[in-house]
Amino acid sequence: MKVQTRVLTVDPLNPQAEVIAEAAKVIRSGGLVAFPTETVYGLGANAYDPQAATRIFLAKGRPSDNPLIVHIADKEQLFEVATEVPEKALEIAEVFWPGPLTIILRKTDKIPPQTTGGLDTVAIRMPAHPVALQLIKESGVPIAAPSANRSGKPSPTTASHVVEDLFGVVELILDGGNVFFGVESTVVDLTKEPPILYRPGPLGPEDLEKYLGRVELPDVARGMVFAEKAMAPGMKYRHYAPEKKLLVVEKRSELDNVVRLLANRMDVALLASKETINALKGIPKCNIELGSSSDLYEIAKNLFGAFRALDKSECQVGVMEPFPERGIGLAIMNRARKASGMAIIKKVEDVWKYVQ
């Protein structure tokens, strides 16, 4: 269904009351609002409204069994959307909320199955962004919001990315500038013992284990496999993906050889740190710089923009440099592997499995 989309500029630190009021009116009426968070831009609707939740899936082209995250503005709302809230949930909420942490708990009857992908659990977080928090408060309801992009495409880190994907299918886009982290929140399931980290984000397992004890890290969290069932967003389906082929090299020692081999046959784009790009200058046709290898937060912030830049480049295939899987580096590699559709290069000969 084609709708008229408006784009309103909002101050990310001191959001204008009239802009927030306009956006909240859309939410309360069952409409869709794209808004900035500290992680990526979200596509929001009333979490209590099954028809509004269904509209999110239709707008994104998202599979209906892929659950949405419910965003709240204060800790009291946690008890409106979740039941059987354990003490450990309150402890880590005290430490990490507002912030890029999503926790999975048993849902209350107020949350319809359309919001949770049919699950009896709900993924909840309190975003650390003034626009997001004010929008939830002004709306008077929790807001269900996945990333504001077409399903499978790279998540949006600027309002212009949202416009590219969703103009004409959502009522309102709030342009609050660039996001801070650039990758989605960490998702941990507290209905299991030990807790399971399903999706790494700005917070790594080492951050959570300080408060939760041992946290299980399955292969799906590293992006090595797709899950058979989506217990949390980003588990079951190919995500974050550019349209062009992307190869992820697993060992830095193999990167040079992979790039040189491919460059002999086709136009190659190298997605890498500025240090690696300087070292391989003149070999790949396209260089897409992610930032300094000494700052993994910078790499993460630029990752999805780099995937979009690959699609706009003259090059036929992208090759991505690997990064250490610690802290936010685990999230970087998770997103890259899933974006590649598991086109993972462990040795040079693997290239021809994915590129003809």
145 annotated to bind ligand: yes
Helix count and strand count (H, E) for the chain: 14, 16
Q: Round to whole Å and give the CA distance between 331 and 140.
A: 32
- Cβ within 8 Å of residue 84, ≥6 positions away: 105, 106, 191
Judge whether 265 is annotated as a binding position.
Answer: no
- Would you say 292 is a known binding-site residue? no
What is the rounded CA–CA span in Å between residue 118 and residue 65? 7
Query: Per the omega criterion (within 30 degrees of 0), is the bond before 194 cis?
Result: yes
Give CA–CA dist 264/154, Å, rounded.
Answer: 28
66 known member of a binding site: yes
Q: Which of 269, 271, 257, 259 is nearest to 322 (CA)?
A: 271
| 121 annotated to a ligand binding site | yes
The amino acid at residue 312 is: K
Is the C-alpha dihedral spanning 226, 229, 231, 234 positive or negative?
Answer: positive
User: Cα separation of 164 and 162, whole Å?
Assistant: 5
* 260 in a labelled binding site: no
Nearest-CA neighbor of 108 among 82, 78, 146?
A: 82
- Residue 52's H or E segment, with its range, is helix 50-60
Residues 6 or more apart whose CB falls under 8 angstroms from that of 325 comprise 222, 333
62 carries a ligand binding annotation:
yes
Q: Residues at the annotated binding site for L-threonine? A: 39, 71, 125, 145, 185
Residues annotated in the binding site for ATP, as ranges?
A: 62, 66, 121, 147, 155, 199, 240
- Binding site per annotation, positions: 39, 62, 66, 71, 121, 125, 145, 147, 155, 185, 199, 240
